[in-house]
Structure 1
């Protein structure tokens, strides 16, 4: 969507094709924020960050500590980070005033707003503006959902000139113009031609945080026309997948925001002891969990830590993924260890925080001291497939490259997780949303420049050719649908609590979401947790009130009887 807006800003036209029923992809799930160095938010808070410092952190993470020299693509990511954050604030009116430090960062630089997950907030802002443009001026922007691109079209010279796609009715079409590939990664690619199975077969049994759409489609399409790839074996296993006590073996898991550790959360083993630098990079912490081998592991926040990220804690608690304990004694009892043992672990940490000398190498101690005489938010955690650093080879203008890694494939550009080589072998937290925005803008600008240069040269390349049927935009304005007058009690709603018969109540309305479950962007389980219940509080934490009438008015079957 960043690419779409960038093309539109430069006077171009866009057609956005998505195989999902809703826009947003995995970006809506991003929980910690977007990185930026030397932003106005940092300046306001007195944070002395610089792009040079961000460069070093990115390089160290990318090389797993072997080098602080950054790759050219990483340099684009870093130096375009502040402009990207400011673009989101000024062009979309986003609040990105809160800034946190995540693992592997030498300064607080991960931006978010006061409420809601930043991924959801950012993608919704871009999505709603694009939908408004598509509604008001469909000759400039069009959106096709539940439509799948099946191949890239090329001319005789091998330039990409468009795509073949199948619409929601199963009809096949061709459309023409430069192509920005933004199909995401392959951390849920469990299909027959799985990239995950080919490059990381030992991790096929791990749970994932990714939606089922993340199957490496763009990478596979580009490979078929001779496109290059890089670092496909570089798959990130995140240490803090959230384990639901009622479904510990679920293949798809929610992710605990890395900001929970950034504000002072501790990682404890089954005996209540620390086993790593809580703010270490993701690959390091995951490695320590596997080597230490003393699960179940817990992410523990005391009152001081939780207070600075309260919205997240309450959200996870509402989903049954976090539990609030009124005291350390209660926590120790649930862990099956003596309270004195947990206090001893806290005492050791407090002394480390006071001295600033941690044997595990931790340097920042927000939230300290820890005491049993406090309340805690606690989650079970486990390693999960989260992100793929590998992908298609691009240059610093976002242009796709051939298998030689040097020659551009004219007319094809990459944006977001589909790209490889930006994050090296390990991505820093907060850089996924940044990657989408930065390289979305880079690819959008390059695609617009390419299109206009071709047009000025008076070639046959002129976007959608005359005579070809223009795709039909999906109108997504809030539909004027009256709520059915029939009333239901909450007791009646409670009778419908299975995946085959699922009702929920939201803000005084009763919804039958049975048929909607497969289309829900956050997955069916996110709704099923509230099947037969009033889900208003949880819904309002994540969504605007207009979302139901805008995207799923057919689910409303009546009113909740007071």
Structure 2
């Protein structure tokens, strides 16, 4: 079968690509970044699913109907029911697919804000978004090496135009790669993400939500609404573009409090029992309410800074996250209530009363802020993890209007032939407010739906070609069978396949490594190897700051918390310049 062009290498694009391959189609994946993954790798809470194998094993009585109702309520009845049915109805199958096909551990299930049942899945270690995305990314890159006739990946390829034929069908794209403009042919799946970092001259954010334009964001600088703008320029319909989600818990770096890009505090931290306290050490909101509600209460409260506090039990339940945030200097640990009160600048009796009042709510299930789900009582004699919070631009619910088959609709409500959309680029799924845990879910569900639809579209096009040619087999040349898809003029191969990185050479003392600690000259040490990561900074999916924090230092512990050891030889072999001198 001929190729489908997938634009975007985040989880939505990867899920679409794997589904296309399962359906027999060939894939050309074009990614704007030098390192695939997008914002999907940053997702910290997990992926939703109703009626999953993991829920059944834990005795959680959840179902699609309940998930549908929770989603519709969160959306303020502003999302499309047909799209919610797809999202929730295929959610259990999506989670099971990830576990069965990619061997992922998604056995832990928690309850996030706005959910009436625990349904957000993650494993024991690492950020679930990173684990899920890396598994698909590595599988696809391996296939690009073992079966290049079926899979081609081009990184640092910026799509500039959707190509249409005389009938108005999308038949390909133009893209810029290595300074050259290339053309690729085939139906197109857009999976380019949202526009919550769209601070460009023609910003969708500024056009539709100018009051949010100066807020910090959790998004990488690639999230500038490229797919939305490309499709709207050829007649696609945009929907809910004014619906932009501000997440209540962005982590404030005490060393750089005004940073434009902020790291997200996983909603799971509140899901395991974390409390939001103002500068007077008092609660002011149900921590498990919808994101927009919590954000509004934070803005209403004039006693800043707002802090998220976890007690010992909650810290243990989400230990990996706490260790990661502490390592990045975004969270502090305190070994007593007295030390915590000192951090707040209040008398110990103030926090004792806050905890006593909360414990009364736990016992009576009557909370002054309306909280319904609790994780046990609090003790003043405990350990605590604490971080300062601020609302941040996080997710754009608006995007391209699609139908339940992920086909992009035009301004007359009709599908544009050959054009599909999946993930955050598509609108109408989440209405006014997205539930936590549904971003990864939307990527996987609609990635798979778009893959199914694009493969069916190819098959229909091939069938039409046969009929038009009177059944001559020659009409299928280059479209069916085992023939290779049209090759792009310039393509990118995974580093592991390229075979050759620099052979580790010299030996360096830690004193010498420490001298290379600036943005234009960055060395780090990982597992005894010295890496020059200066050129890799722009491509790091976690942002430059994640690397610069360890510039000139040994980053082994933090690296091993987040990554599999094969990441370096696969994605950055040329960065290895030697080893640490004993």
TM-score, normalization by structure 2? 0.93
Mapping 1:168-207, distance limit 5 Å: 169-207=178-216
Contact 1:263–1:305 (Cα < 8 Å) also in 2 = yes
Contact 1:483–1:559 (Cα < 8 Å) also in 2 = no
Question: Which residue pairs with 2:34 in the alignment?
Answer: 21
Question: Which residue pairs with 1:513 in the alignment?
Answer: 533
Q: Deviations over 1:87-119 (max 9, x none)?
A: 101111111101111000011100011100000
- Among candidates 62, 74, 83, match of residue 75 of structure 2: 62
Q: Deviations over 1:266-286 (max 9, x none)?
A: 001011111100101100000
1:289 has 2:302 as partner: no
Q: Could you tell me how far 1:516 is from its partner in structure 2?
A: 1.6
1:340 has 2:349 as partner: yes
Q: Could you tell me how far 1:519 is from its partner in structure 2?
A: 1.7
Question: Which residue pairs with 1:555 in the alignment?
Answer: 575
Distance 1:83 1:420 in 2: 22
* Gapped regions of structure 1 (runs ≥ 5): none
Structure 2 counterpart SS, 1:502: strand
Structure 2 counterpart SS, 1:451: helix
Question: Which residue pairs with 2:255 in the alignment?
Answer: 246
Contact 1:153–1:164 (Cα < 8 Å) also in 2 = yes
Q: Could you tell me how far 1:474 is from its partner in structure 2?
A: 2.1
Mapping 1:139-288, distance limit 5 Å: 139-167=149-177, 169-288=178-297
Mapping 1:2-13, distance limit 5 Å: 2-13=15-26
Distance 2:279 2:101 in 1: 47
- Residues 70/146 of structure 1: CA separation in 2 closer, same or farther (3 Å cut): closer
Distance 2:414 2:502 in 1: 56
- Among candidates 374, 391, 395, match of residue 399 of structure 2: 391
Q: Could you tell me how far 1:469 is from its partner in structure 2?
A: 5.0
Please tell me the root mean square deviation across aligned C-alpha atoms, in Å: 1.7
Contact 1:62–1:423 (Cα < 8 Å) also in 2 = yes
1:448 has 2:455 as partner: yes
Question: Which residue pairs with 2:50 in the alignment?
Answer: 37
1:436 has 2:456 as partner: no
Contact 1:98–1:111 (Cα < 8 Å) also in 2 = yes
Q: Could you tell me how far 1:121 is from its partner in structure 2?
A: 0.4
Distance 2:294 2:44 in 1: 18
Q: Could you tell me how far 1:482 is from its partner in structure 2?
A: 6.3
Corresponding pairs, count: 556
Distance 1:470 1:266 in 2: 52
Q: Deviations over 1:388-446 (max 9, x none)?
A: 00000000000000012x21101000000000000001000000000000000000000
Question: Which residue pairs with 1:457 in the alignment?
Answer: 464
Question: Which residue pairs with 1:355 in the alignment?
Answer: 364
Question: Which residue pairs with 1:52 in the alignment?
Answer: 65
Q: Could you tell me how far 1:500 is from its partner in structure 2?
A: 2.1
Structure 2 counterpart SS, 1:257: coil
- Residues 482/155 of structure 1: CA separation in 2 closer, same or farther (3 Å cut): closer
Structure 2 counterpart SS, 1:220: helix
Distance 1:455 1:293 in 2: 63
Q: Could you tell me how far 1:480 is from its partner in structure 2?
A: 5.0
TM-score, normalization by structure 1? 0.96
